[in-house]
Amino acid sequence: MKTSFYIFIILAFSSFCSADPLPDASHIYVQGFSSIKVEPNLMTISVTIESINKDLEVAKQDVDNRSNILISSCYDFKIDRKDISASTLAIGPAYEIRNDNREFIGTQVNRGIEITLRDLNNYASLIKAIIDAKVTKIRSTVMSIDNEDEVIKKAQNEAMKDAVHRAEAIAQTAGKRVGDVYSISEFDLRRDERYFLFPNRRISQLVEVKRSSLYETAFEEEPFEPGLIEAAVEIYVVFYLID
């Protein structure tokens, strides 16, 4: 019974690997592309709070206190608990290079905190909370949207329209007409690595978020422009050709 099962798996895999992604009949293979630019309405900031002390308990207490200050401040301007994520503590030895020698300077304790801001009008309040907590560093700032699936779907539809338009234009120059669709894929099936598949769709930030220095004091007037993000989709379509 097990032998038969293994044979079935091998045959199925062999069939998949030998399958031709293109038809034997006359056809055209085109790429469709669409790019939609939208204004983001979400911001996710990842920060690190770190402390170094020869007394581990002192370092831990410092990180805990600063973490609580940041999280409590976020609650003050209505950031929901589900939009705040705090990692467990990371603890390890800390060293400095002094006179070409590595010297132990204490124990390093750090915690990562990730905050999602759903009301960008509170950006200045969030930056103030980050500064008040004496955050060690901001690891990343990512702009996004809350209706990502909807925007991606729209981009996919536009990419398909683009593929049809390209196919018709090319076929016309060859005195052909576009027939039925043979296959539609998000993967480039003519590349040698076609079985290492990753869909080519993304939502990405077009420009870096503009912000002033982390230690700016005029929080209410802090300049902030979220810029735009781009939803980009590529699809690959094989059409039959008709004489």
Round to whole Å and give the CA distance between 206 and 79: 26
Same domain, 115 and 183: no
Write out pLDDT tens, residues 53-73.
999 999 999 999 999 999 999
Write out pLDDT tens, residues 123-136.
999 999 999 999 99
How confident is the model at residue 124, as a pLDDT?
92
- 3-class SS of residue 148: helix
Tokens 């091998």, located at residue? 10
Structure-block tokens of residue 92: 């390890």
Identify whether 181 is part of a domain: yes
Round to whole Å and give the CA distance between 62 and 56: 10
Write out pLDDT tens, residues 192-231.
544 444 555 566 665 544 444 444 444 455 667 778 888 8
Question: Which bin fits 209, alpha (ψ -120 to 50), beta or left (φ > 0)?
Answer: beta
How confident is the model at residue 126, as a pLDDT?
95
Reported pTM: 0.69
Same domain, 74 and 100: yes
| Nearest C-alpha neighbor of 117 from the set 106, 129, 107 | 129
Identify whether 26 is part of a domain: yes
Round to whole Å and give the CA distance between 170 and 28: 9
219 secondary structure, DSSP code? G
Which of residues 144, 162, 182 is at a domain's end?
144
CATH number (domain holding residue 205): 3.30.110.170
Residue-wise burial string across 146-170, b where 16 or more C-beta atoms lie within 10 A, e elsewhere: eeeeebbebbbebbbebbeebbeee
How confident is the model at residue 218, as a pLDDT?
42
Give how many domains the chain has, as a whole number: 2
Domain range holding 226?
20-39+147-242
Given CA atoms 173, 179, 182, 184 in this order, what sign does their dihedral have? positive
